[in-house]
Structure 1
Amino acid sequence: MADPAATPPHSPLAHAAHRLAAATRASRGALRLAELPFLAQLNVRFDPKGPAADAVALALGLAPPTEPGTAVHGPDGPTLLWLGPDEWLLVSRPGSQGEWEGRIRSACADTAPVAVTDVSAQRTTLLVAGPRARDLLAHGCALDLHPRAFGPGRCAQTGLARTQVVLVARDAPGAGFWVLVRSSFAAYLAEWLLDAATEYGAPAS
């Protein structure tokens, strides 16, 4: 009998990988669409004015952002997204959630309360990049996505095609956007993106 623990994880959009890649090729450089599966995601809560703030910053190697709707990207470490006055989402490489949770809990053990919850299984991440990425997302998002309003280093909990997402404008030039979506809605959102991408040369479904 097979060991269930040995079964490799299955991403919510594994079935759509070839279609996302085909849409990327067909857009002739205008778009890049892909799933970034299994990213580590930790919900972290603490008092930003208390001693836990410094302890978390030391543990992660970067200070949690305190300005609403902003993100801080570590060069080789995690990304921290501001979700609320005392709430952040840590996003990092697949499989690293245990490492980061251990670091945070160890750093805060003797300082102040901190709540760390592994939410990695709740969402998957879609990458939307390329010169027409903002135009594509604007078809279904009510946010002003102009670079002056939603430039690199911004994030928001918002709606995209009637689906609740966390939208992140990446820092690096040409890095595009992360769209963090609940796994149960991922297939629907991928279909919407593929349909909207036909305007930019992607093949029709």
Structure 2
Amino acid sequence: MAELHGESPLVTRAETLAGSSVPGVLHLSEVAFTAQVTLRVDPKSPAAERIGTAVGTMLPNQPGQVARTERLQILWMGPDEWLLIGPEGGAEQLQATLTEALGEEHGSVVDVSGHRTIVEVTGPKSRELLAKGCALDLHRRSFASDQCAQTLLARTGVVLLCRDVEQPSFWIFVRSSFARYLADWLADAAAEYRV
């Protein structure tokens, strides 16, 4: 039997991202192979409460909210939709936990780990870099830690997550088919910081 081998969407751009980083100013890298599971359920149902108990925190109930546990980040994606992010290799267990908590109630649990990859942008110039291609107000008062938004970045649909406002850190969830384009755009947009 053939051995399965996975390759991240940005394996060919790892050097490009690293070469675009400037120590103490800006760092670009891929966060590959995270577990990503989409959950759809009525937020007012008993199932939503069971799911919150099972994962260790209640599902965020406001636009752009992010809930965290030691191993998970739960992003609000819509009135009845969340994206749960966990460690590499954790998608199957996370899916099983959510499915069991959902029980017989109407809803869905789907492993979407292969759908997107994550580009991490950190450093003092990260907001400035992202603002070159994003219409959102990324000021720390408007887009703080543990907030997310679905938006366009360089004409590419992404989910943007602010992980830390004090030491600016962002995760950009981008579809695998657009990942190389976005990595090249970020590298080009970061060129001025290397001078």
**Coarse TM-score class (shorter-chain normalised):** over 0.9
Among 71, 91, 97, the residue aligned to 2:85: 91
Q: Note if 1:159 corresponds to 2:152.
A: yes
The residue identity in structure 2 corresponding to 1:82 is: W
The residue identity in structure 2 corresponding to 1:99 is: Q
What is the TM-score normalised by the length of structure 2? 0.95
Cα 1:100–1:172 shift into 2, 3 Å: farther
Q: Deviations over 1:91-122 (max 9, x none)?
A: 11111011011111112226x33310111111
CA RMSD of aligned residues (A): 1.4
Q: Deviations over 1:158-191 (max 9, x none)?
A: 0000000000001474260000000000000000
SS in 1 for 2:114: helix
Q: Note if 1:49 corresponds to 2:44.
A: yes
Q: Percent identity?
A: 46
Q: Note if 1:34 corresponds to 2:29.
A: yes
The residue identity in structure 2 corresponding to 1:189 is: L
Query: Larger % of strand: which?
Result: 2
How many Å separate the matches in 1 of 2:23 and 2:186?
A: 16
Q: Deviations over 1:125-182 (max 9, x none)?
A: 0001111100000000000000110011110010000000000001474260000000
The residue identity in structure 1 corresponding to 2:43 is: P
| Gaps in structure 1 of 5+ consecutive residues | none
SS in 2 for 1:121: coil
How many Å separate the matches in 2 of 1:49 and 1:175?
A: 34
What is the TM-score normalised by the length of structure 1? 0.91
Q: Note if 1:145 corresponds to 2:154.
A: no
The residue identity in structure 2 corresponding to 1:65 is: P
Give the aligned partner of residue 119 of structure 1. Answer: 112
The residue identity in structure 2 corresponding to 1:141 is: C
Among 171, 175, 180, the residue aligned to 1:182: 175
Q: CA deviation at 1:53?
A: 1.4
| Gaps in structure 2 of 5+ consecutive residues | none
Cα 1:149–1:195 shift into 2, 3 Å: same
How many Å separate the matches in 2 of 1:186 and 1:163?
A: 9
SS in 2 for 1:34: strand
Among 178, 186, 190, the residue aligned to 1:193: 186
Give the aligned partner of residue 16 of structure 1. Answer: 13
Q: List, as ranges, runs of 4+ consecutive aligned residues in structure 1 with deviation greater than 6 Å.
A: none
